[in-house]
């Protein structure tokens, strides 16, 4: 199949979003949201029977995220909700004249909330609290607005973006089969949307020098794959989905047990909703009426 090369990504971004005064944060137009709504519906049609659905808010417990080990791996990406604490007079003194000085901002202190950096973190403690899993493990469909303090804002790298995930919790066999099936299904998904892609082994953006070793080991163990689609360039395609195997990390952290009483393994398949929508516009152009028939039908646009 011949695909149009993604061109003029800047003018596409200009047509789809309004800037909001800071990098990587945009007002999304109705044109963009039509593609998002189509993707939401299409992804829901892939939902396996018995899957439990959660919509998480954009904030989560700071303690839970700390316990998940996030600060060891990605402290540089995390955003924390901070507020002014204290009596009325103290707060009044800090904010009077705000704008001229930064005093009020330096007086902020952390609350017990962080901005969710991925959709699946709040799920594990909920599942752990329910006791042992059933015989065949369990699947979940989770959605969240996520925040990451990214260090660059090329097209498709937002500070605030939407993530949808299917998560599998069970034995290692359950999770590996789930991930394998989804890597096959993702090819169908990209084909029906007429998106050019490749699936490649990947590593997470771990922090610092020690992080480089963690990334090497993650690739060696094939814990992460990504579906890559050209958005900014053919040479550096953009990760629009990821397929992750966490082994027993969350099972051990939260004490999740399989029906047989073993530590549960977990895995997730993440859809970067804003990136998938942007990839559609980058590939097929901004006029939805001109998109390939199979994509328009699949997305009902
Ligand atoms: P990247 O490879 O771009 O650094 P990642 O490997 O950190 O992303 P994951 O943690 O696997 O990404 O997140 C799941 C999915 O969420 C990604 O495949 C991507 O589609 C989307 N995503 C991640 N970070 C961003 C972002 N800053 N803006 C938009 N979408 C994002
Ligand atoms: Zn996940
Ligand atoms: Mg990546």
Is a pLDDT exceeding 70 seen at residue 251? yes
251 vs 272: CA distance, rounded Å:
24
The minimum-distance atom of ligand 1 relative to the CA of 276 is 20
Binding site membership of 239 for ligand 1 (Cβ less than 6 Å): yes
- Listed in sequence order, the residues at least 6 apart from 58 whose beta carbon sits closer than 8 Å to its beta carbon are 115, 116, 144, 145, 146, 147
Binding site membership of 162 for ligand 1 (Cβ less than 6 Å): no
Name the more confident of 202 and 1: 202
pLDDT digits (tens, 9 = 90+) for 92-138: 988 886 665 567 899 999 999 999 999 999 999 999 999 999 999 99
Q: What percent of the chain has pLDDT over 70?
A: 96
- Listed in sequence order, the residues at least 6 apart from 101 whose beta carbon sits closer than 8 Å to its beta carbon are none
pLDDT digits (tens, 9 = 90+) for 45-103: 999 999 999 999 999 999 999 999 999 999 999 999 999 999 999 999 888 866 655 67
pLDDT digits (tens, 9 = 90+) for 184-199: 999 999 999 999 999 9
The minimum-distance atom of ligand 1 relative to the CA of 202 is 6
Name the more confident of 106 and 147: 147
Binding site membership of 269 for ligand 1 (Cβ less than 6 Å): no
247 vs 136: CA distance, rounded Å:
17
Mean pLDDT confidence for 9-36: 97
Q: Whose CA is nearest to atom 18 of ligand 1?
A: 241
* Distance (Å) from CA 164 to ligand 2 centroid: 9
pLDDT at site 115 = 98
pLDDT band at 2 (very low <50, low <70, confident <90, very high): very low
The H-or-E segment that residue 80 falls in is strand 80-83
Average pLDDT over all residues of the chain:
95
Tokens describing residue 148: 């990451």
- Residue 295 in contact with residue 190, Cβ under 8 Å? no
pLDDT at site 36 = 99
């Amino acid at each position: 199949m011949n695909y149009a090369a993604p061109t003029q990504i800047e003018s596409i971004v200009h047509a789809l979003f309004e800037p909001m005064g800071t990098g990587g944060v945009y007002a999304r137009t109705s044109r963009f949201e039509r593609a998002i709504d189509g993707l939401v519906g299409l992804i829901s049609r892939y939902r396996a029977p018995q899957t439990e659905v959660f919509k998480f808010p954009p904030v989560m417990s700071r303690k839970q995220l700390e316990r998940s080990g996030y600060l060891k791996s990605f402290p540089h990406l995390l955003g924390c909700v901070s507020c002014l604490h204290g009596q009325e007079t103290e707060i009044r003194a800090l904010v009077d004249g705000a704008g001229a000085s930064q005093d009020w901002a330096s007086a902020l202190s952390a609350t017990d909330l962080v901005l969710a950096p991925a959709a699946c973190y709040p799920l594990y403690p909920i599942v752990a609290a329910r006791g042992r899993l059933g015989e065949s493990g369990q699947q979940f469909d989770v959605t969240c607005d996520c925040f990451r303090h990214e260090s660059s804002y090329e097209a498709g790298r937002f500070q605030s973006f939407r993530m949808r995930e299917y998560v599998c919790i069970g034995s290692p066999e359950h999770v590996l089969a789930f991930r394998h099936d989804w890597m096959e299904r993702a090819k169908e998904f990209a084909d029906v949307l007429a998106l050019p892609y490749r699936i490649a082994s990947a590593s997470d953006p771990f922090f610092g020098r020690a992080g480089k070793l963690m990334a090497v080991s993650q690739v060696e163990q094939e814990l992460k794959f990504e579906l890559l689609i050209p958005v900014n360039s053919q040479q550096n395609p953009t990760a629009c989905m990821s397929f992750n195997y966490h082994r027993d990390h969350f099972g051990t952290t939260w004490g999740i047990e399989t029906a047989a009483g073993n530590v549960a393994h977990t895995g997730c398949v993440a859809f970067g909703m804003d990136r998938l929508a942007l990839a559609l516009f980058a590939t097929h152009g901004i006029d939805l009426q001109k998109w390939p028939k199979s994509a328009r039908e699949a997305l009902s646009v």
